Amino acid sequence: MFNLHIQRAVDVIRDGGVIAYPTEAVWGLGCDPFNEKAVRRLLALKSRAEEKGLILITGQMEQVVPVIASLSEEQAARVLSSWPGPVTWLIPDLWQTPVWIKGSFNSIAIRVTEHPIVAKITAKYGAPIISTSANPSKRPAAKSLLRVRQYFDSQLDYIVPGALGGLHKPSQIIDVGTAAIVRR
């Protein structure tokens, strides 16, 4: 049954839809990061400004190899030592990532998670997906399936059932260049 949910989520993402799914600490919204229409729809659902940028998430280290290849050995070692785990890194964007992903920044935010649902979705999908908290702007992040439904009701294309990972706060965000913690 679980694999049917994963397959359904992947099909929805491939079709340009927006899904909700559990992450380490809160429910997330996701879609294909390179489908501009899907990302803009997700931003509209959240009432989130494009300038803020979005996080890319995956459960597969091999999917981030091109992103970390441009880092120094020391930076790459620091990043790799934190993954998989609840650390999002801001990495200089050398790939001309679309503005609807990186916002007004010169970096992209990416995380390799160990949450089994996200890991299975991204493994089956074959690439990272968008990960942003499932909540309208300025509202608390959804920590339950009920809250996801209260916030978004039938506006989502699919909700992947499952449990949160047990953390109490969203992922820490660190700038790889400066080692500054942007979000604790």
Cα distances (Å, whole numbers) of residue 13 to 37, 71, 158: 12, 30, 9
Q: Which domains does the chain have, with CATH numbers?
A: 2-183 (3.90.870.10)
d(CA 57, CA 130): 6
What pLDDT shows up at residue 117?
A: 97
Report CA 34 to chain centroid distance, whole Å. Answer: 13
- Answer whether 96's CB lies under 8 Å from 21's CB: no
- pTM, two decimals, is 0.95
Reported as a single tens digit per residue, the pLDDT across 85-129 is 999 999 999 878 999 999 999 999 999 999 999 999 999 999 999
pLDDT on residue 110: 96
DSSP summary character for residue 33: T
d(CA 119, CA 127): 10
DSSP label at 42?
Answer: H
Q: Which residue has the tokens 């989520």?
A: 9
Q: Is the pLDDT of residue 82 over 80?
A: yes
Residues 58, 113 contacting (CB under 8 angstroms): yes
